[in-house]
Structure 1
Amino acid sequence: MAFWDGLLNWLGYGHDEDTPAGNQLKELEWSSPPPHTGKAKLVSLPTARQAMRLVIARPQSFDQAAALAENLKNYRPLIVNVEALPFDEARRIIDFLSGATYALGGRVRRVTSGIFLFTSSNVDLSGDLEEQVTGGINWLEAAGRK
């Protein structure tokens, strides 16, 4: 039994038979940080040196929309220019990428009448890009959303 009593006293769960000064000394020893062993845990933090990749695309058909959505899944902002496409084809691409962006928690911004910026949830945009656009096709009206 003496072994267990000694172990419990050493852990601080023993009887209160010790002197108060002795208990305070043990508490101070336990509350101090452990000595430096020379080995440290390394934690990588994102820095400005890790550049974000921006993808600029001018799709030729709707078949390329899925490949463009893969960039959003990989947290890469995407600028899509659909000005040269027929209206129906451009609308399908914008609708598809808008749905993918929404599913990933991102945002869609119109830069000009036929250029759109799709961002994933890791990108924070500021400014009023939509209000600066003048002329061209109003895609929101054409889609029946406004």
Structure 2
Amino acid sequence: MTIKNKIKTFFTMDDEYEYVEEEIDLPEETSIPQRRSQKGQNVVNLKSMQQPSSKVVLSEPRSYNEVQEIADNIVNRRAVVINLQRVDHNQAKRIVDFLSGTVYAVNGDIQKLGTQTFLCVPDNVDVSGTISEAFADENEFERGW
């Protein structure tokens, strides 16, 4: 190699890498289903199409002290339905405020399902539809909710 070539290779960005292609063997369960040439003969493994199931936690706190457990479920990406009928009105407000902050922190959503029932979901759960706020005893429950 001449000095000119050495200087040229020193100042150029030509990196000499050796590329090796390797074939990866996939397990049979996760392999991509192959199409058959005949119409109506396409076979798809449904187990490969299923996603992990989400969990929904039902919670009926009796005091504000239980709100941390509910928030932990939301942070762990579980939807939570909260029934606040067993706590007094002031504690229920504090619980909803705390859970609203938790839901906001995980980019989730909180929705009112009933007079004292709420749904808190993290960002991995999509909620569609709405529940109307026309309750049977509307005047009785308008006090602060």
Return the TM-score normalized by structure 2: 0.63
Q: Per-residue CA shift, 1:33-62, capped at 9, x if unaligned?
A: x87x5424789xx95352111100000100
Counterpart in 2 of 1:87? 89
Task: Identify the match of residue 129 of structure 2 among 102, 107, 127.
Answer: 127
Task: Identify the match of residue 137 of structure 1 among 138, 141, 145.
Answer: 141
Task: Identify the match of residue 114 of structure 1 among 113, 116, 119.
Answer: 116
| Residue segments in structure 2 that go unaligned for 5+ positions in a row | 6-13, 15-19, 31-47
Between structures 1 and 2, the one with greater helix share: 1
Contact 1:62 1:89 in 2 (8 A): yes
**Do the aligned partners of residues 56 and 127 (structure 1) sit closer, same or farther apart at CA in structure 2, a change above 3 Å counting?**
same
Tell me which amino acid in the other structure corresponds to 1:137: F
Contact 2:61 2:86 in 1 (8 A): no
In 1: Cα distance, 2:67 partner to 2:91 partner: 11
Counterpart in 1 of 2:78? 76
RMSD over aligned Cα, in angstroms? Answer: 3.1
Tell me which amino acid in the other structure corresponds to 2:94: R
What is the percentage of aligned positions where both structures have the same residue? 25
In 2: Cα distance, 1:92 partner to 1:55 partner: 20
**Do the aligned partners of residues 53 and 142 (structure 1) sit closer, same or farther apart at CA in structure 2, a change above 3 Å counting?**
same
Contact 1:113 1:133 in 2 (8 A): no
Task: Identify the match of residue 39 of structure 1 among 2, 24, 38.
Answer: 24
Tell me which amino acid in the other structure corresponds to 1:69: A
**What are the within-5 Å matches in structure 2 for residues 1-20 of structure 1?**
1=1
**Aligned length, in residue pairs:** 110
Return the TM-score normalized by structure 1: 0.62
